[in-house]
């Protein structure tokens, strides 16, 4: 790996490494960390519109739509019409709830390994820095 002072390059490398860590933990569940995150957010938000889910996850609607189609094809989410035809709602299916519940212990173990690796103070500092970078310019 070539060393660089570029923040973007280093953040992207770190993100890929962290994603590999969680993806490895979720291997036996047929979903990756991005899909787990989407299912988890769906459970927390309880039948959000595609727009509100995209906003909550910091994704654009087209990226979210592609991810939802995959999960819908797996039978883990269902799209339904909202108040008008432009407003589609997303909900977890029973299979989606079951997959999320089954994968939770593996996700929690992966989370704990990273937290142990960083320690509490560095974890808190990292979260603060990431939140600052994720905010508006």
Output the pTM of the full model. Answer: 0.88
Q: What is the pLDDT of residue 88?
A: 86
Q: What is the pLDDT of residues 90-113, one digit of tens each?
A: 999 999 999 999 999 999 999 999
Give the per-residue SS3 of the chain. Answer: CCCCCCHHHHHHHHHHHHHHHHHHHCHHHCCCHHHHHHHHHHHHHCCCEHHHHHHHHCCCHHHHHHHHHHHHHCCCEEEEECCCCCCEEEEECHHHHHHHHHHHHHHHHHHHHHHHHHCHHHHHHHHHHHHHHHCCC
Q: What is the pLDDT of residue 97?
A: 97
The verdict on domain 27-106 having CATH code 1.10.10.10 is: yes
Q: What is the pLDDT of residues 31-81, one digit of tens each?
A: 999 999 999 999 999 899 998 999 999 899 999 999 999 999 999 999 988
């Amino acid at each position: 790996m070539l060393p660089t002072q570029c923040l973007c390059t280093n953040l992207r490398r770190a993100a890929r490494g962290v994603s590999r860590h969680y993806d490895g933990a979720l291997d036996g569940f047929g979903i990756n960390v991005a899909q787990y995150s989407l299912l988890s957010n769906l459970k927390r938000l309880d039948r959000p519109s595609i727009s509100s889910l995209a906003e909550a996850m910091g994704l654009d609607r087209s990226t979210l739509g592609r991810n939802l189609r995959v999960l819908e094809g797996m039978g883990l989410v269902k799209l339904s019409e909202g108040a008008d035809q432009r407003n589609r709602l997303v909900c977890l299916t029973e299979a989606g709830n079951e997959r999320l519940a089954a994968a939770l212990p593996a996700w929690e173990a992966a989370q704990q390994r990273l937290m142990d690796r960083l320690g509490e103070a560095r974890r808190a500092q990292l979260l603060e820095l990431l939140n600052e970078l994720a905010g508006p310019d």
